[in-house]
Structures are given as structure tokens and as C-alpha cells.
Amino acid sequence: MKDSVIAAQQAPSAQRTTRDLTRAAVSGWLGTAMEFMDFQLYSLAAAIVFNKIFFPDVSPAIGLIAAMATYGVGYVARLAGAVYFGRMGDRIGRKKVLYLTILLMGASTTLIGALPTYATIGLLAPVLLVVLRLVQGFGAGAEIAGATVMLTEYAPVRKRGLISSLVSLGTNSGTLAASGLWAVLLAVLSEDQLLAWGWRLPFLLSFALMIFAVWLRRSLKESPVFEERPDVVDGVALARDEAESAIATADKHEGGVLAAGIRQRKGKAFFLALGLRFGQAGNSGLIQTFLVGYIATNLAVGRSVPTDAIVYGSLVGFATVPVIGLLGDRFGRRTVYLALSLLTVALAFPVMLLVTSGSTPGVMIGMVLGLNVGVLGLFSLESVTMAELFGSRNRFTQLALAKEIGGILATAIGPVLAATLTTVTGSWWPIAAMLIVYSLITFVSAFLAPETRGRDLVRLEDAV
């Protein structure tokens, strides 16, 4: 086994063609688009109709809280999926995990569209909804982390921020597709039609996207970084003691850094990544999920206005995301992170004043601005920075856990907390305060983090 590891150290780097990179980019974009389309379909349904068809026997405010809670439980399952699939991805490779996660997400999302409602089977309906939401979350727990790791490890060093931003464009594409579908449904269907059968259509249509994504990933090559890892032999990562012993001879030529990377105590990079995640994840839950229901329930504007605003914001995001990726490549991740998080803090109250103004233009401008600065801009940086913070041996696991724990603490709990606080206070100011808190956490984390631009991703140790 030692000979195998030494040979791997001396072998040329794994080669990938432009076609391989293109396939990896399309696969990462499509899988992330599917994940976020599934979750945005669910979040919009939870905000608009689920409180009426799965929780009809309570007040509108309590129904909204209950619907937001079913949205939130998926993030608990995502954490379990992050642990299970993350460890698998670090041990046997990124490709196999990405194949499994897309199957789980697509099947559960399609089945949600076939669920009977409370009027048909009573309390069993919301129970089945929660079960499918848990399965959906379990598969999604490693999808975006896997796509992020795969694409970042494929990308050329000087264009890593730009190419990795395709993951963020995938989230934007999924959000746009889901919001567009809901906008069409709200525009052409009456409320009775929407509640009777219209809400099912987006979930059922997602089946076609799943089939295409599965076909594409069957021919995807493994990450070149995974193949170059010094602790990987015959496509499988060695256990810690085994790896440390096996690379001892090769390590003499590396000054002991290989074994040091295996022995490094984890924690610093993880908590910094968790803080970086907070701003984007928390702001996303508030702007893309909670505000849609809040506007529809509390403001005297058309019911399609908030979903239209998400659509327009997502369209603008197709320019925002790659621009932020380019800025990160040019000026460094840390500098752009600090600027964006501070800008989000400064805009929190102005954005909410626009959203709650009662005018359609105000809602549109506020939502588009908040989505692009506080969510999509930060997400473009997050995709590459978190991958660069971690060493190759545990990158998939740590990145997945940081994303999903951040999701539970911010994206899942945030809408429920916001629904509770706005109900208790009768005002919108708690939403602005939460946007500020989330963004300040990210600012402090970026301030404490090292610059990761250009880091060698084959290295086993974390950046800190």
C-alpha cells in the first residue's frame, strides 16, 4: 500500500479537458438548480397555500406559522444528510454521492405533488407532508455542498470564483423557475382552482428535470482533486492511522506536511465558515420565504406581487452572481465579503420601508435589492470561500455541515421566528433587525478569516 501512495505522489496531476469542465459545470448548476427549485416550490407553497390545504382549522396567522414549521423541518433532515453523504463523499468520491442525492430530492418532490390534502385524509395529510419533506431534505443535505466541492475542485485557480459562482447561478435558476411557475399559476388560476389542483403542477413537473440530471451525472468524471489526494488509494480514502502510516515515506520529501494535514485539529475553519453562511442563509429565509407569505397576508397588494418580485430579483441575479465572483477573483474573497455584509446592514431598514410601503413598485424594488445584495451576492462568495477554507481530506463533510447547521440556525428557524415576532409586535421591524444581525455575524466572520484566494485545494489541512 505504501508503494501505491508513493506512486500517487509521483504521478502527474489528474487531467481534465474543457469538455470535462463543461460537463461538471452543467451538472453542478443543474443539480443546485433542482435543489433550490424543489425547496423554493415548497417554501412558496408553504407561504401561499399549505396553511389552507394542510392546516385549515386554525387562524391564518397560526396556519402560516405551522406551514413555516413544515418548511423548517426539512433543514433538520438536511443535517443528517450532510453527515451521511458528506463522509461518503470524502471517502469514496464526490461523483457517487451526487448521483444518489439527485435521486432522493427528485423522487420526494414529485411525490409531494401527489399528496392527498387535509380535506381528504385529515391529520395524516400534514404527517405525510412532513415525511416527504424530511426525505427531500436528507437528499438535499449534501447536494449543494457536493456541487460546490466538485465545481471548485475542477475550476482553474485564477477563475475559481467565477466558475464556482455557477453553483450560485444554479440556486438562482431554481428560484427563478419555481417563482416563475408560481407566478403563472397565481396569474391564470382562481383561488379555488389553485387550492383544488393547481398547486400540484410545479411539483409533478419537477420529475422531468430529475431524469435529465440523473442522465447527465452518470457520465461525470470524478473530481481531479480527489484523485490527487495523497491519502486516496484505488479511489477510496484510507483511514487516518492507515493514511498517516502509508504516506510516511513520501512525506519526507514534503517536510512532514502530509501527515500534519491528517493530524490537524479541526474547528477554526468550520466555525468561520458557519459564520460566513449565516448572513446568506438567514437573509434568504427572510426574503425568499417569509416575506412572500407576510406580504400576501398583511399588505394590501396583489397576491402575485411578492412572487413577481422574486422572479425579477432572480433575473437581476444572473448579472449579480458572476460579477461578485469576478470581484472575488480580482480583489480577494475577504474584501468583497466585508463590503457586501456591511452594505446589507445599511440597507436593512430602507429595504423593509420599501417592502411595507403598500405600493407595488416599493415592494418590487425592496425585494429585488434585498435579494441581490443580501442573498445572491453573499452566496456567490460563499460557494468558493467555504471550499477553499477546508482541506481536501474532510472538505465535503465540513462544508456540508457548515451549510446545513447554518441553514437550521438561520434559514429554518428564521422564518418561524419572524412569523412569531411580527405577530406578537404587530410590526415589520423585527425582520429588519434580523437581517442586520445575520449580516453582522457574516461581517465578523469575514474579518477573522484568512484570505483563501488561490489556495492549493489538494492540501489536506484546513486554511486555519
- DSSP code string of 82-97: HHHHHHHHHHH-HHHH
Cell numbers at residue 421, please?
Answer: 415576532
Task: Point out which residues pair with 237 in neighbouring strands.
Answer: 232
> From the CA atom positions of the chain, what is the Rg in Å?
22
Confidence of residue 8 (pLDDT cuts 50, 70, 90): very low
pLDDT of residue 298: 80
Q: Name the more confident of 208 and 249.
A: 208
Asked if the structure places residue 249 within a domain, the reply is yes
Q: Is 426's pLDDT higher than 80? A: yes
Q: Name the more confident of 121 and 67.
A: 121
State the Cα–Cα distance between residues 340 and 440, nearest whole angstrom: 11
State the Cα–Cα distance between residues 434 and 279, nearest whole angstrom: 10
Asked if the structure places residue 175 within a domain, the reply is yes
State the Cα–Cα distance between residues 282 and 374, nearest whole angstrom: 9
- What mean pLDDT, rounded, does the chain reach? 84
State the Cα–Cα distance between residues 397 and 216, nearest whole angstrom: 24
State the Cα–Cα distance between residues 379 and 406, nearest whole angstrom: 13
Which regions of 121-257 does DSSP assign to beta strands (E)? 232-233, 236-237
- Asked if residues 180 and 173 have their Cβ atoms less than 8 Å apart, the reply is no
pLDDT of residue 6: 36
Per-residue pLDDT, averaged over 185-210, amounts to 86
| Phi-psi map region of 365: left, alpha, beta (phi>0 left; psi -120 to 50 alpha) | alpha
Domain range for 278: 16-448
DSSP letter (8 states) at residue 290: I
Asked if the structure places residue 278 within a domain, the reply is yes
Q: Where does 51-154 have alpha helices with state H?
A: 51-53, 60-92, 94-112, 118-121, 124-140, 143-154
State the Cα–Cα distance between residues 229 and 378, nearest whole angstrom: 30
Residues whose CB is less than 8 angstroms from the CB of residue 280 and which lie 6 or more positions away in sequence, other chains included: 374, 375, 378, 379, 382, 442
122: number of Cβ within 10 Å: 12
Asked if the structure places residue 368 within a domain, the reply is yes
Confidence of residue 231 (pLDDT cuts 50, 70, 90): confident
CA-nearest of 390, 391, 388 to 455 is 388
Report the Cα–Cα distance between both ends of the chain, in Å, rounded: 30
The alpha carbon of residue 194 and the mean position of all alpha carbons in its chain are separated, in whole angstroms, by 28
The alpha carbon of residue 297 and the mean position of all alpha carbons in its chain are separated, in whole angstroms, by 27
Asked if the structure places residue 463 within a domain, the reply is no
Summarize pLDDT for 78-93 with one digit per residue, the tens: 889 999 999 999 999 9
Asked if the structure places residue 385 within a domain, the reply is yes
208: number of Cβ within 10 Å: 11
**pTM here?**
0.82
Asked if the structure places residue 5 within a domain, the reply is no
Q: Name the more confident of 60 and 198.
A: 198
Coil, helix or strand at residue 463: coil
260-460-161 Cα angle (round to 5): 140
State the Cα–Cα distance between residues 1 and 54, nearest whole angstrom: 57
Asked if the structure places residue 384 within a domain, the reply is yes
DSSP letter (8 states) at residue 409: I
- Asked if residues 175 and 35 have their Cβ atoms less than 8 Å apart, the reply is no
Summarize pLDDT for 15-26 with one digit per residue, the tens: 677 788 888 888
Q: Which of 1-15, 97-111, 283-297, 381-395 has the lowest mean pLDDT?
A: 1-15
Residue 449 sits at φ, ψ, to 5 deg, of -80, 150
Instruction: Provide the CATH number for the domain around residue 155.
Output: 1.20.1250.20
Per-residue pLDDT, averaged over 327-352, amounts to 96
Q: Is 302's pLDDT higher than 80? A: no
Q: Is 221's pLDDT higher than 60? A: yes
Cell numbers at residue 208, please?
Answer: 422531468
Q: Which of 246-250, 313-317, 346-350, 438-442 has the lowest mean pLDDT?
A: 246-250
- Asked if residues 353 and 427 have their Cβ atoms less than 8 Å apart, the reply is no
Please give the tally of structural domains in the chain.
Answer: 1
DSSP letter (8 states) at residue 450: P
> Residue with C-alpha cell 468524471?
221
